[in-house]
Amino acid sequence: MEMGTQYVGKLEPFLLMSKAAKGAAAAKLIQDATSAPGVFVFGELLELPNIRELAGHEQHSRFYSLLQLFAYKTYPDYIQHKDALPALNDAQTIKLKQLTLVSLAQDNRILPYNELLRVLDMPTVRELEDLIIDAIYLDIVRGKLDQKEGQFEVEYTMGRDLEPGKVEQLLLSLQNWASTTASVLAKLDEKLAEFSTRSVKARKEKEEYDKSYQATLKEVVDKQKEARNANKQHVFTGRSGLTPAGLAELRREQARQQEREKELEKAKGKDAEDPDSMDVDEPAEGSKGKGRKPSISDASQRQQRKRTRP
């Protein structure tokens, strides 16, 4: 059952009795209805002919004003017009304060204790919290008491009767709300369309980037393969080549050749100083090349003969 709808049923007995009540009986009916536990809506009772007649009655018009007070007014309104209204009993006072709490909760989600103490004319915080707890149990408001922050956090509240002339104002507010909501929805649709367009564009750009990346990657890999193949063709295979290993081998060979030439120069110098070295056996008749350079082994043999000669 929706919050507050159960209270319409509790007003039903007073609606039936009002059909036969006039004058003082109708005034007494208003007193009973505003004091009855669980009755928090009075709009239907206000619309009944026998009750409306009280508005023009000189003696009982204040009871009609009292019913209007409980239908859509608050406790500060009672204090302001107290002299023109009947005195409230304890049950009526508590109910009017609870209805005032409902009205405040309709306008603000956070109700500070200081404001509630002032508006409801409550002497202590303890009594204020008891009033709020009773209202929660009666299911006319829902919320949470925050003693640390000193406030009542409203979650939901029942609806009260609308004061004459407020229907048009409420309708205008609803129209403004509907217009604002439609504008917000239109903006959201525009944003969604924009996001969708951006998403499609971003997806295409990513696909193009991936294609470009793959093409560039393939080109780099191909060039690396070509470079490796070119290096394989220049690997040193003997005493020639341009690879670092080939150049090192060529330098070593040149160093060995220089060593051999130095040894030959030394051997020639010693032969020129020792005339006996001319007794070396001549080469065989078939051999040519008188001008050939003596080998390392020939020079070594000459030196050996010189040592062993008597």
179-206 per-residue burial string, b: 16 or more CB within 10 A, e: under 16: eeeeeeeeeeeeeeeeeeeeeeeeeeee
Amino acid identity of residue 135, one-letter, is: A
In eight-state DSSP terms, residue 279 is G
User: Helix, strand, coil shares of the chain as percentages rounded to 5?
Assistant: 70, 5, 25
Ordered mean pLDDT values, 10 residues apiece, the chain (310 residues): 61 85 89 91 89 86 92 93 91 95 92 94 94 93 93 91 76 84 90 89 89 88 83 54 69 83 80 55 49 52 51
Q: Angle at the Cα of 14 (from 91 to 24), degrees rounded to 5?
A: 80
Question: CB burial class (10 A; 0-12, 13-18, 19+) of residue 97?
Answer: buried
The predicted structure's pLDDT at residue 56: 85
The predicted structure's pLDDT at residue 294: 52
Determine contact, residues 64/30, Cβ cutoff 8 Å. yes
The predicted structure's pLDDT at residue 71: 92
The predicted structure's pLDDT at residue 70: 94
Give the position of tokens 């439609």.
182
Q: Which of 107, 95, 223 is nearest to 159 (CA)?
A: 107
The predicted structure's pLDDT at residue 251: 80
The predicted structure's pLDDT at residue 150: 93
The predicted structure's pLDDT at residue 31: 92
